[in-house]
Structure 1
Amino acid sequence: MIAYATASILAAQPLSAQVGSAQPPATEDAPIAYLLDLTSGQVLLSREADRRFMPASITKVMTTFLAFEWIEEGRLVPRQVFTVDPEVWDEWNNVGSTMFLPNRARVTVDQLIHGVTTVSANDGAAALAHGAAGSIDAWVSEMNAKAREIGMRDSHFGTPNGWMDNGKTFTTARDLGTLAASMIGRHPSKYRHYVGRTEYTYNDITQPNHDPISGRVRGADGIKTGFTNQAGYGFLGSAERNGRRLVMVVAGSPRSSVRDRASRELLEWGFREFEQKQLLGRGAIVGEAQVQGGDAGTVGLAVPGGVYVSLPGDADPRIEMTISYRGPLRAPIAENEQVAELLIQAEGMPDYRIPLHAAAEVGEAGFLDRVANGFRGWLR
């Protein structure tokens, strides 16, 4: 691993300043609590974030995300029509939360996703899974593959809707944060279209969304509640204010009212107690990496979305940024390809990393390039 350190950006000051008196939810109200600042990439609160629990209906967020991915890839189309399979209907008709799909109903992908995201439809999730992948088992297999792809290292799914399955389905708060970040980051327009609606009408039946933050926390837009007798009440939610987005998880709450209050408290605490500062603008070049076998010996390293840091209150601590990558990088390298990471260390806050992308394309070295590279290496 090769690392290059940049100079500190902000002067050192003690991290004693706090704004207001807001507190995160009490441990007894939210035994598992996790707050992620998506804009900066920082974890603002981590309480039992790697403890496994059964997500129940929060599982449907993975089904939603997989549907978004397949739509993006052209494997699903929102106006595409599925016929509800009789066996799927027999198993899921009126089981838990439902969108009241009739047997053999012809229903669009768009309607099914809305049913899943807004009214937590168990039958809708099952019908979507079966129609898209040919079988529920095949869909669940794709859910697990997608979870591994995005880095959910401690999660497994046994159903498309989170219905009780003897513990086959489990996750962690940290993994749910990763899932929400991937869904919002990769599919912002789909997220806005399908998530955060207050109610949904299908087959002349209107049902409300039981999300505890939309309409109650400024900037909130979902995402999904869950409950099992074994795991208690949980919620994965998000809100955005002034271009800053937070993702939160609470789990293990003893009652729905406690979970709802804890969710609101956690988001309000995050927005109130931390102020965001921009360190580097979108696309800024933070350094360069050595390249082997390329038509250039180095490549610039850029931060596509800029660099932000969230700090408690009026604190102004020393901040250091360090580039790290396995190097030298080997050509060819595509422009915007992720090739390195930027480690950001702020006094009093957990370290965090953001990806660095190649600022330009580097092709494979031709004959003259190899001669020049060899000459430069000899001079060194």
Structure 2
Amino acid sequence: MSVASSVAPASAAASAPVPVPPPELAQIPVSLLVDIGSGQVLVQRRPDVPFLPASVTKVMTAYVAFEEIGAGRLSLDRRFNERPETEKEWFAKGTNMYLTRKDWPTTRDLLHGIMTASANDASIVLGEGYAGSVPQWTAKMNDAARRLGMTGSHYNTPNGWMDDGHTYVTASDLVRLADAMITRYPSLYREFSGQKHWFWRDVAMRSHDPTVGVVPGADGIKTGYTREAGYNFLGTAERDGRRLVMVLAGSPKPKVRDNVARALLEWGFSAWQARHLFDQGQTIARAQVQDGNAQSVPLVANREVHATLPTGGHQKITLAVRYKGPLQAPIRKGDQVAELEINVAGLAPGRVPLYAGRDVAKGGALDRLIAGAIHLVS
């Protein structure tokens, strides 16, 4: 079932042409740029082809930790002690915090090590220390991927170390992951993403993020590299309420990746413009509910929603709210129950998730009687 509406064009002026992306983007085998306020794809190349993520894997390790922190099961102040066999295997192996059994890093220390320093040992210590083993931790990673709809991805390691291709992702899936990390855990995201330096034992560890401090509004997220994977980047920036999320994968050189990342974000903000549609939390539509103590539930977005148009463009915008309905009670406030489809003439549609704006409990006999009467009248 769907509820549709339309937004008239801003004026009768001719539509602007679809912007041409930076030419240097052709050097990157996999690329994707999405405006998450509209869900619209601004540029894409092989967005659903699996690739080796290398250290971009660590974004899912951080996300699983965010979930556990958000649920109250993991404290940022909890201390971890490295296992002897873990120290033997992972000390100074790739990028590292150089943890030893004498250290008792907190969750906060490990997350800074993972997200800023890209520490391989920190990822293992967190995963083993919390879940009991690496396989039990990666099971949590894959469960989170499944719940996020990351259908083209699989995790076999917490840190992206080479594993004969058992860990793989797609660009489309990484955008889903970044979106969830930013919108569901904003305070944790701000604390652990986009930090250029972090100190562990008075030693400065440096991020390789090519955009933070260079591109206005850039605040993360993670680079990655192995010989097999090439140079990868999951990046994002926000300006004036617009957030772009970008994936670049398989770059032959770090300089190519870094230059393209900067150019692509700047192009996304300059060549495209947002037309505001709804505020965060504003009721966008109502969905019918079956067997509940209310006949409908308000649908809201967890972000500011806009349509994305070429700069100077005035294309017609059509909206459609889509859900499988009627929805079945009980429904909890915050459950994702629908999508807003945003259609800009001449462009591929974008989709933004919609959430229940209130609880709807299971209805009693009187509620069912009232609903039946309303149905007969309608």
Query: 2:246, 2:86 → 1: CA distance?
Result: 33
Query: 1:60, 1:52 → 2: CA distance?
Result: 17
Question: Structure 1 residues 127-136 or 51-60, which shifts more?
Answer: 127-136
- Kindly report which structure 2 residues correspond to 1:215-254, keeping only aligned pairs within 5 A, or say none: 215-254=213-252
Q: Identity of counterpart residues, as a percentage?
A: 45
State the number of aligned residues. Answer: 377
CA contact (8 A) 2:230 2:252 kept: yes
CA contact (8 A) 2:21 2:43 kept: no
Using structure 1 for the length normalisation, give the TM-score: 0.92
* Counterpart amino acid of residue 29 in structure 1: Q
Is 1:10 paired with 2:9?
yes
SS at 1:81 equivalent? coil
* Counterpart amino acid of residue 242 in structure 1: D
**RMSD, matched Cα:** 2.1
Query: 2:4, 2:298 → 1: CA distance?
Result: 15
Q: 2:81 aligns to what?
A: 83
CA contact (8 A) 2:183 2:303 kept: no
For residue 236 of structure 1, report the CA deviation from its aligned partner.
0.7
Relative to structure 1, is the Cα distance of residues 177 and 303 closer, same or farther in structure 2, using a 3 angstrom cutoff?
closer
SS at 2:246 equivalent? strand
Q: 1:294 aligns to what?
A: 292
Query: 2:89, 2:375 → 1: CA distance?
Result: 68
* Counterpart amino acid of residue 233 in structure 1: Y
Which structure 1 residue ranges, 4+ long, deviate > 4 Å from structure 2? 11-14
Relative to structure 1, is the Cα distance of residues 370 and 108 closer, same or farther in structure 2, using a 3 angstrom cutoff?
closer
For residue 83 of structure 1, report the CA deviation from its aligned partner.
1.0
Q: 1:111 aligns with which of 109, 115, 118?
A: 109
Question: Structure 1 residues 228-237 or 336-345, which shifts more?
Answer: 336-345
Q: Structure 1: 5+ residue runs without aligned partners?
A: none
Q: 1:52 aligns with which of 41, 50, 62?
A: 50
Query: 2:371, 2:81 → 1: CA distance?
Result: 62
For residue 329 of structure 1, report the CA deviation from its aligned partner.
2.4
Relative to structure 1, is the Cα distance of residues 225 and 13 closer, same or farther in structure 2, using a 3 angstrom cutoff?
same
Query: 1:318, 1:256 → 2: CA distance?
Result: 40
Query: 1:204, 1:299 → 2: CA distance?
Result: 53
Q: 2:260 aligns to what?
A: 262
Relative to structure 1, is the Cα distance of residues 373 and 130 closer, same or farther in structure 2, using a 3 angstrom cutoff?
closer
SS at 2:105 equivalent? strand
SS at 1:139 equivalent? helix
SS at 2:55 equivalent? helix
CA contact (8 A) 1:86 1:104 kept: no
Relative to structure 1, is the Cα distance of residues 144 and 311 closer, same or farther in structure 2, using a 3 angstrom cutoff?
same
Relative to structure 1, is the Cα distance of residues 335 and 171 closer, same or farther in structure 2, using a 3 angstrom cutoff?
closer
For residue 95 of structure 1, report the CA deviation from its aligned partner.
0.6
Q: Structure 2: 5+ residue runs without aligned partners?
A: none
Using structure 2 for the length normalisation, give the TM-score: 0.93
For residue 25 of structure 1, report the CA deviation from its aligned partner.
4.8
Is 1:307 paired with 2:316?
no
